[in-house]
Structure 1
Amino acid sequence: MADTDPAELERQIERTRAELAQTVDAIADRVSPKRVAERGVAKVKANAEHLVAQVGDLVGGVAGPKPVRAAGEPDDLWEDDRPDLAPVLIGVGAVLALGAMVMLWRRRHR
């Protein structure tokens, strides 16, 4: 049987209103442009950090420290056949920077 006590009904209504207000506030916070932008920036930052870590691992594995030769060892013993990736990485960075500049310039001149 349902509670017919008016005071209990008022307390239930007040509790429901408070819960509904919290839910509405949470939804408003979640869809606010500021929060959406913050989440987007955080996601891009995390992806960039992951990419930098991967490139660092790749470069570190390919162009790691060169071994030190001991006196009297033949010169061809420590021949380094690893490719030099620095020019490639500089080129990729320059292309990315130039692409970003072109995109920004196009957005400003619309």
Structure 2
Amino acid sequence: MAIKKRPQADPAAIEAFGAAADTPPEAPSPVASAPTPPRQVAPARSTQPGEWPADVAKTLLIRWPDATLPSELAEVAGLEDRSQHKTALRALQRGLEVLRAEHRE
């Protein structure tokens, strides 16, 4: 079986997509409907080991605002002798715990 080459992605289209993700959404119109209630914390899902919930994403794409965060991530990963992926997951988990604790107070 022959291996087919992928078509090249247009760099301008990729950059436009990323720039659109960075722009804030349009301001709501003054005739907006009733305000939405605050988001409720979702209850813990009960799934079997090895089973992934259908409504939970397996990946996340991060667009860095500047070069500070990725370089700090690389530095901390080197200090802990871990991969950047594992270090980022650990930092994300610890950060979420702190944010959750702040909202409980």
Same fold (TM over 0.5): no
Please give the range of the TM-score, normalised by the shorter of the 2 chains: under 0.3
Rg comparison, structure with higher value:
1
Q: Normalization by structure 1: what TM-score?
A: 0.26
Q: Normalization by structure 2: what TM-score?
A: 0.27
The structure with higher relative contact order (CA 8 Å, sep 6+) is 1
Structure with more of its chain in helix, by fraction: 1
